[in-house]
Amino acid sequence: MSAPAGSPHPAASTRIPPKLGGAAVSGAAAGPGPAPHQQNGPAQNQMQVPPGYGLHPQNYNVPSGHYSQGPGKTTSLPLDSQSGGYYSGVYTIPTQNVVTPNTANQQSGAQQIYGRGPPAPHIVGSTPGYFQGAASSSSHLHTSASQPYSSFVNHYNSPAMYSANSPAVSQGFPSTCGHYAVSTVSNAAYPSVSYPSLPAGDPYGQQMFTSQNASTIRSVRENSFSGQNTAVSHPSPLPPPPSQQYHQQLSLSGYSPLSWSASGLPSTQDNLIRNHSGSLATANNNPNAVAESSSCPVMQTVQPPESSPVVSTVVSGASSARAPPTANHLVETVASVTQPSELLQQKGMQYGDYVNNQASSAPTPLSSTSDDEEEEEDEEAGVDSSSTTSSASPMPNSYDALEGGSYPDMLSSSASSPAPDPAPESDPAPAPVPAVPQPSKTTKPFGYGYPTLQPGYQNAAAPLSSGVQPSSPVYSGFQPYAQQYPGMNQLSSSFGGLSLQSSAQPESLRPVNLTQERNILPMTPVWAPVPNLNLDLKKLNCSPDSFRCTLTNIPQSQVLLNKAKLPLGLLLHPFRDLTQLPVITSNTIVRCRSCRTYINPFVSFIDQRRWKCNLCYRVNDVPEEFMYNPLTRSYGEPHKRPEVQNSTVEFIASSDYMLRPPQPAVYLFVLDVSHNAVEAGYLTILCQSLSENLDKLPGDSRTRIGFVTFDSTIHFYNLQEGLSQPQMLIVSDIDDVFLPTPDSLLVNLYESKELIKDLLNALPNMFINTRETHSALGPALQAAFKLMSPTGGRVSVFQTQLPSLGAGLLQSREDPNQRSSTKVVQHLGPATDFYKKLALDCSGQQTAVDLFLLSSQYSDLASLACMSKYSAGCIYYYPSFHYTHNPSQAEKLQKDLKRYLTRKIGFEAVMRIRCTKGLSMHTFHGNFFVRSTDLLSLANINPDAGFAVQLSIEESLTDTSLVCFQTALLYTSSKGERRIRVHTLCLPVVSSLADVYAGVDVQAAICLLANMAVDRSISSSLSDARDALVNAVVDSLSAYGSTVLNVQHSALIAPTSLKLFPLYVLALLKQKAFRTGTSTRLDDRVYAMCQIKCQPLVHLMKMIHPNLYRIDRLTDEGAIHVNDRVVPQPPLQKLSAEKLTREGAFLMDCGSAFYIWVGKSCDNNFIEDVLGYPNFASIPQKMAHLPELDTLSSERARSFVTWLRDSRPLSPILHVVKDESPAKTEFFQHLIEDRTEAAFSYYEFLLHIQQQICK
């Protein structure tokens, strides 16, 4: 529990980032409660977030935070019901697993957002503790399936147990008799138990019984049990004090068995009492998983093959146990349970054999202490409301555990996820209950779930994990995974006989015949695949918006990677605007002593005092301060610290991380005021925008600002406080620029605000009669550098023409006749090294140069861009800018400026990317200067900057099953605080080619390829780059065909994960940056290349492959709600003219521009209601706005457009294109599936690839 400022333990108090949601903040304000007590507090009966808990979500609920925040700026993910499944799979589930009561609450919130069922506490949750959980779940089971299976149950207790979800067993009773006892007992008990009456004494009595059995193993437990029982027996709103005591004791004691039991105790009470037991439910789940594992041996001994139905129920039971948290209330549980179970029965039948095998393969009962510990953690998490939003037990106790199997959570999840739909397409994570009855609906076109891997990993992990197997029957058919672990021969061989084989192939590997499949593009936006990790890691993993890898399954060796012929690299968006970010203030930032990795959720704690780095495997000590958890205010829980609960965190750095005192925010504007610039009229817009946003410029009281203008001379402005008006100082010696009055040119924004405003008012008219056509950009930049070098900061350069005087002058290199040349495109590289040198000088002085190029003719962007590229600036380009002739560009500039001036900024930043030993980074893409092998020097960092890194595998990764990547961005915030933002991504390692293909993130791969192609076209030639792109498709598809499919098809086959690959590559080839044959101005092309280099993935994808929607029939079906607005979510159309009908109107989202194409015979209602004109003929040729009309369809269209627009940093211009207007070529050139005179259609492209492959 992070008490905001007044925390008694300031040493590690957490801060609330400024961007928190309002609700969260209020929660924080109300949340003074001490963590351990809260549960027992008066708020228990409430369904709502107890005040204390409220704090949590706020600060630490990163997982849910990201996603629940909805389609904000960055994610822009429509959270409609369709995607609900996905979300739930990936992100909600994590929260579900969260054991903390508070998370339960959060969870409910999240669910609401996702439009799922009522998040109310369900039965499982309500059942207290794992023991009760067991009882309850088992009872569910019974209800659902008891009749048909009763016989089974009797015979085969263990399966029943599973299904029973009985956590008691999960506690890891080593003795089979214990199991028996439990299961039998439960069997006996449950039929009699009615569901609503769950909290009643019956089940608990049973529990008692079991617990007693258990107690033979651990007397401590017995105590706890008895405590539980008391709790149970007193379902009074206030839990009995003894339990509290226990709890506290235990939390201190950390890993001791006592602690878990004790912790379980209060939580059970809580849940019981509160009814808001989502958290507990998860607790139940975990044990349940263990229970499965432990029960395996039992099965082995007892179970004949007929047990399959039971097994199915088992699975269903697990799922039910899990699922309820999502949606069902106590009473409803029954229904929910039954549904899946029925569904699953059929499946279960199939897997029966498998289970047996499993059992046989898992000879050791799972009673290891590590399991206990994990459970204990879970329990504690459940108890400690204060623990972060994240998971129950993020912290594996050993690396083995981390790698694989022994995660109870994971088990349960895996059990549950297959449950609703064992078919490979099933969502990777447990589907919400409502979805269970209709697996087909939950099925997503992108089935990255193929959780098949999990069993494999689990196998690899340890004997314990074998117990996990029962959860995986669904995947049993997927042989490769099992086979890759030699130790599991038995297992894999047993798989061999399964009938599942064919059906259990992961969706992402399903072969797709590209030439046959006409509608390759899914109806919904393509999401990032989810790395195939166990659920705990999944929910801890970094958001794909910040951190993506082209291969979500990292191949084991470079040889394997070479075989796959796919690019391996990372795509980063490290400084993305986040609404929720845990900010940690701590005296010591815990890092690995040898590789300096920041502690992260994927490290393993060897014991309480030591942790093992997940990048270099060094064992480090846990510092004393880290033992104290400011959230729970408890000691001895290093794994509960927010650093270890969130993969994206921000540290407030101490002075160790400063080379000098944090710099103030310093902004310098370097403005072109030559005739050309005045003619274009940008000054008016800039000055207006600047004076409007002067107060919103990020910074503190030290913020400084300055102005330099230039034509053939350089003009400085003395704005020193005390002057009556701004003083202009002209330096005409451009060969040796000097600063006339070094002190008063950069002035404090607040002290000189009046002068600055005067200057901004005066500037647009000062040069109105200028005759000066020359532009001495180079000297002006040198002056700016001199001005900035003492502090560092941001230089914004506005340039409107080719620099023609002084250092850095450039000649026109473009030959307009070559614009549509199909052969050679020259001059993509810079003409001089002046700008590069300048940029490096600036970078050395922590100054970034941002370039706004507003020119009507060629301005050699290729050379000019260097000043931004290497100083970590950004580049904006407004071709043929004119404030009256081209109002849409003017408006765009205005909006871009608003964003530019007010967005977050980090100064004097460096970013270091680390990866697990064995991997190495060899090439970086983006705007920065690579100072040393893995250190990027970023003078400024802005939220719109994306980066890409290419990786190679230097050493074989055979001895690890996970690899991690960590980026640490150290920057000075505009408030003068030194901060470190750390993202950590964890990915599995695979050894078979099929797995590599299954895990391809095609969007990330395309973006990386685009970056590589830009490099290639600059260093070599454009045609080389184009060939390389085509070869990338040809190579990867032929490699897939020859190695994975092993058959020589004449057809063009791709795995589902790669099915969009050819389409995207074709889109790239038709992109401005790489296209040939179509007239493209050199600056446009170079700008597109710059964009490719520095745009984050989400925005880049729209640039490469625009989204096309039909908007004349928007409905509320599947609409999402954003800020009280209903945003319709029309399906994506493929980019082909065949989709355009004359009766419709279509919106194309190209990232930087929107086109609304209106068909000739478009419905007049639409034209009138949305466009505001009576009929098609009256629509003007140039229309850049949707009028605000008071009609439903207008509202829908506008909210949709606004929603799309809000999701990106560059505000796109809207063009309404009539079917007949000349502007329609602009629109049609984006229809990349169609043939143009210079390029293939999609089908032709496929044929071309096919030819190449067959060659």
Q: Which residues are at the interface with other proteins (CB under 8 A)?
A: 829-833, 836-837, 840, 844, 863, 866, 869-870, 922-924, 929-933, 935, 1015, 1019
Nearer to other proteins (CB atom), residue 380 or residue 814: 814
CB of 914 to other proteins, least distance (A): 14
- Sorted by sequence, the CB contacts under 8 Å of residue 194 that are 6+ apart come out as none
Nearest to 84, CA basis, from 340, 433, 545, 338: 433
Nearer to other proteins (CB atom), residue 759 or residue 862: 862
Nearer to other proteins (CB atom), residue 188 or residue 935: 935
Q: Is 1213 helix (H, G, I), strand (E, B) or coil?
A: strand
CB of 1129 to other proteins, least distance (A): 41
Nearer to other proteins (CB atom), residue 234 or residue 837: 837
CB of 907 to other proteins, least distance (A): 19
CB of 864 to other proteins, least distance (A): 11
- Find out whether 144 and 206 touch, Cβ atoms under 8 Å: no
Tell me the HSE value of 492 on the side-chain side, using a 13 A CA sphere.
18
CB of 565 to other proteins, least distance (A): 18
CB of 616 to other proteins, least distance (A): 16
- Find out whether 1107 and 1132 touch, Cβ atoms under 8 Å: yes
Nearer to other proteins (CB atom), residue 602 or residue 929: 929
Nearer to other proteins (CB atom), residue 168 or residue 867: 867
What token pair was written down for 1062? 């050819």
Q: What is the Cα 547 distance to its own chain's centre?
A: 7
Determine if residue 595 is left, alpha or beta; phi over 0 gives left, psi from -120 to 50 gives alpha, anything else beta.
alpha
Please report which residue ranges of 662-807 form alpha helices under DSSP H: 675-680, 682-693, 753-766, 777-788
CB of 934 to other proteins, least distance (A): 9
CB of 870 to other proteins, least distance (A): 5
How does DSSP classify residue 749?
T
Nearer to other proteins (CB atom), residue 190 or residue 870: 870
Nearer to other proteins (CB atom), residue 866 or residue 1039: 866
Nearer to other proteins (CB atom), residue 48 or residue 826: 826
Written as one string, the DSSP assignment of 556-610 is: SSHHHHHHHT---EEEE-TT---S---EEE-SS--B-TTT-PBP-TT-EEEETTE
- Sorted by sequence, the CB contacts under 8 Å of residue 1074 that are 6+ apart come out as 1013, 1017, 1022, 1025, 1026, 1029, 1068
- Find out whether 77 and 1206 touch, Cβ atoms under 8 Å: no
Q: Is 869 helix (H, G, I), strand (E, B) or coil?
A: helix
Nearer to other proteins (CB atom), residue 813 or residue 1198: 813
- Find out whether 542 and 984 touch, Cβ atoms under 8 Å: yes
Nearer to other proteins (CB atom), residue 538 or residue 912: 912
CB of 546 to other proteins, least distance (A): 23
Determine if residue 1123 is left, alpha or beta; phi over 0 gives left, psi from -120 to 50 gives alpha, anything else beta.
left
Nearer to other proteins (CB atom), residue 863 or residue 1199: 863
What token pair was written down for 740? 């006339």
Beta-bridge partners for 799: 853
Nearest to 1074, CA basis, from 1060, 1091, 1061: 1091
- Sorted by sequence, the CB contacts under 8 Å of residue 917 that are 6+ apart come out as 615, 616, 617, 955
Spatial separation of the C-alpha atoms in residues 916 and 898, rounded to whole Å? 40
CB of 1002 to other proteins, least distance (A): 24
Spatial separation of the C-alpha atoms in residues 679 and 290, rounded to whole Å? 74
Q: Is 1148 helix (H, G, I), strand (E, B) or coil?
A: strand
CB of 591 to other proteins, least distance (A): 17
- Sorted by sequence, the CB contacts under 8 Å of residue 534 that are 6+ apart come out as 404, 405, 407, 409, 410, 413, 414, 454, 457, 458
CB of 14 to other proteins, least distance (A): 33
CB of 651 to other proteins, least distance (A): 23
Spatial separation of the C-alpha atoms in residues 520 and 516, rounded to whole Å? 9
CB of 1019 to other proteins, least distance (A): 7
CB of 923 to other proteins, least distance (A): 5
Nearest to 165, CA basis, from 319, 306, 345: 319
Nearer to other proteins (CB atom), residue 667 or residue 928: 928
Nearer to other proteins (CB atom), residue 288 or residue 1017: 1017
CB of 952 to other proteins, least distance (A): 8
CB of 922 to other proteins, least distance (A): 5
Nearer to other proteins (CB atom), residue 142 or residue 869: 869
Nearer to other proteins (CB atom), residue 661 or residue 829: 829
- Sorted by sequence, the CB contacts under 8 Å of residue 790 that are 6+ apart come out as none
Nearer to other proteins (CB atom), residue 1015 or residue 1027: 1015
Spatial separation of the C-alpha atoms in residues 825 and 844, rounded to whole Å? 33
CB of 741 to other proteins, least distance (A): 30
Neighbours of 976 (CB within 10 A): 17
Q: What is the Cα 433 distance to its own chain's centre?
A: 24
List C-alpha distances in Å: 803 to 799, 837, 1040.
8, 16, 51
Neighbours of 1231 (CB within 10 A): 22
Determine if residue 617 is left, alpha or beta; phi over 0 gives left, psi from -120 to 50 gives alpha, anything else beta.
left
Beta-bridge partners for 1217: 1157
Nearer to other proteins (CB atom), residue 331 or residue 616: 616
